[in-house]
Amino acid sequence: MHTVAITINKGGVGKTTMTKNLATGATAAGLNVLVLDMDTQQNATTWGRRRSKQHNKPLPLTRFITERDLPEELQRAESAGCDLVLIDTPPGRSSEAPAAVEASDLVLIPFWNDQDAYEGVAKTAMLVRRMGKPAFGILNFATPNSRSHEETARTVLEAIPLPLAPVVLHRYDAHRLANVKGLTAQEIEPASVAANEVTALWDWLSAVLQLSTSAVVHKGAA
């Protein structure tokens, strides 16, 4: 089982959207996926409920938990044969994010082209280094058809230092429209640029984790 924390101590950078996109990508690839929602806003959890109620799509499983629940939930997931656990963390200074990082095999730090976000990346990268975890920054909400955000991000992350994921996610309405329905961009507009970017991000992550996509989904897992 692989565990990935999606975290940054800055709100509004797309942690939950990225978590949902990766979770549905992994599920579509045949993996048994669990999303652990540690944010008290429970956006990932309510998205999962919309998904199940409106479209009868119970997978990927989504569950709201607290820091205290995390060790037990991870143990249950592994015992149930879960392939991938994605942990969505709250913004700001809290104990949930460090707990998620400590429990993870890999940390993804989403950010967008904003000074406050870059400061959040630097602080989160310090936490990750202190815990000895591998991590990547992922540029999110970049302006389509513009390379300036990517160039700035690469320069800033080189100075931190933190490796930048090779896939950049841009700001497209497909993500917002899909969320209302409990879906993701790759499900409502599979041929869109937004969907292609998410597919590329999932392909990259699965290669980094050396995940096999031949796994059989266990509907009763976790």
Domain count, the chain: 1
Global pTM reads: 0.92
Share of the chain above pLDDT 70, in %: 94
Q: What is the CATH number of the domain that holds 29?
A: 3.40.50.300
What distance in Å separates the CA atoms of residue 198 and residue 186, rounded to the nearest whole number? Answer: 7
pLDDT for 212: 61
pLDDT for 21: 96
- Does residue 220 lie within any of the structural domains? no
181-215 pLDDT tens trace: 999 999 999 999 999 999 999 999 999 999 865 44
104-159 pLDDT tens trace: 999 999 999 999 999 999 999 999 999 999 999 999 999 998 788 899 999 999 99
Domain range for 187 is 2-209
- Does residue 23 lie within any of the structural domains? yes
- Does residue 21 lie within any of the structural domains? yes
- Does residue 216 lie within any of the structural domains? no
